[in-house]
Chains A and B, each alone.
Chain A
Amino acid sequence: MSGLEELAADALGAALESGASDAEAYAQEGEGIEVRVYEGEVEALTESAERGVGVRAWIDGRAGYAFGTDLSTDGLRGIGAAAVEAARVSDSDEFAGPADPAGTELEEIAGLSDSGLAEWGTERKVDLAREVERAARADSRVVAIEDTIYADASQRVAIASSSGARGGYESTSCYSYARAIAAEGDGDRESGLGFDLARGPGSLDPGAIGGEAADRATSLLGATKPESRTCPIVLDETVAASFIGFIGGVLCADAVQRGRSPFADRLGDEIASAALTLADDGLDPGGPASAPFDGEGTPRRRTPLIDAGRLTTYLHDSYTARRAGNGQASTGNAARSGYRSAPSVSTSNLVIAEGAKDADELIAEAGDGVYVTDVAGLHSGVNPVSGTFSVGASGRRIDDGALAAPLSEFTIASDLARMLTAVQASGRPARWVPFGGSVKAAPLLIAEMAIGGS
């Protein structure tokens, strides 16, 4: 047992001693670095280290949570006592309790850690960030690079619960991004983001990241506002990821059971066109959220969500599975954003099945419409309960099946249910995008959506 697994076991013991009838402890530690480069120089270099424990305690169906970073014997006792105290405030819930891992083996997943990360010194990481910035500057219309960032982290996680969950794993991750600003003539300025993520820096392509930032910014130069109308829309993979992430959220059983999903009572129905197939995959080593087990010790797995348009399941943690009844098991979707928060149901990695056509072919199929390359205001512009949305967007006009003039300052509006049934085709290639959670996203052709402009 690793030191961290021992720590989780000790924290579990402390919570049980404080009077919890059931408990679960989640321990996490990690180190990371963030490099921020500006005009070829290091602007900021951050070294981080952290270690903490979060404890869930149950007393007769009442649940409470506490976390802390004082990991001494007294500190763990304090965290356990605080979790028990929190539980006493809560109302009893017959479905509350730790996950039941009975009969499941926590299997290791190959590829969560890149051993190459350890071989990269700080100077080499700084050079990578510089190369990203240089690549973004290669286009003379790019006048500034607002931020160029490289960051990585190694983390270790361990869990222990009174229902027998025991396990630990380690993983590494890194990402880099740049935001380029392009200008032409007087006044017209556009910005563009380029990014990539991987398990280790050796898998990042700095030229491609910088180049994407420059391309996205310069391709919008001279943008005008389109006329308001309803037309075919092609979403690029980053925009598709944002929307699909939202859809993943309302397919979580928590939202469904509490009556906050537009897809409640739709299990087995055709909720999307046959062109859309979507899975939640917690095992793909390329997916940032992949792990041997979820935030409460249930093995992660691959769950088909929408199969050629048909809704096959909702996503569950142990609580929503018990509440659903009918032998429903957790789908391993208890997510944590670290030890500071209790787990809740969330997507792991969403994967949109690729279609046969690439983006150019989808654009050709659209004929006359709009290619959307960026959306803004998604968190305020989508009503997750009703599914209606109106968000800010920018992109390119599609004329006669080809990309034409750039467009900005317009809105696209529809509702999630209508958008899903209007998916005409999924494209290729799919790419990992860290928006909307974590989504391996492909471009999507939507038959019809409302554009709000002039």
Chain B
Amino acid sequence: MKKIRYNIAKNKKIDSFKFSLFFTGIIIISILFFVFGIKNLSHNTKKRQKNLTELRQLKSRLDDISNKSEVYNRKIDAIKSKWNKQVAFSNLLITKKSFSFLNKLNVLENLLPEGVYINEIKISNDSKSIVQMTIVAQPFSKSIDVFKRFSMYNLNIKDEKEIDGTYRANLTIKINDEKNQ
């Protein structure tokens, strides 16, 4: 319980000594708050600056890493591209492996009757599977036989001529690969 401060005098006065002490106390507390505030602020500023420096260093390291990462990415892209080419080439090789010259030549061997020779042959290595050739037949009747046999393979006679009883014809046929047949 606080004191009962009972004083009914009209000229009563506040205890100036206590008031001074109280006021001084408030001033001291305010100053302490101010000083600690400033000190704390300065400490915080230093801390903030230190943090900023650290942050800058980290940012610089991050940029380095980012640059390195870009270089690595480029290298990876280059390797990837190289590998892609190699893979594409491999795939091409695989595709090409499915193209059989022997099969085509084998078909031709079976189709050509006796007395008919291939003078010149050109086998294209593409999906059209066209075989261009010049055949020499002796006598002419053999060429008819050849045409009959080739007629099943989209025969296209480009030109034909007979010189000294030897029949020559430029023609194309289409021999599909085994796997496509």
A binds B: no
A residues bordering B, Cβ < 8 Å?
none
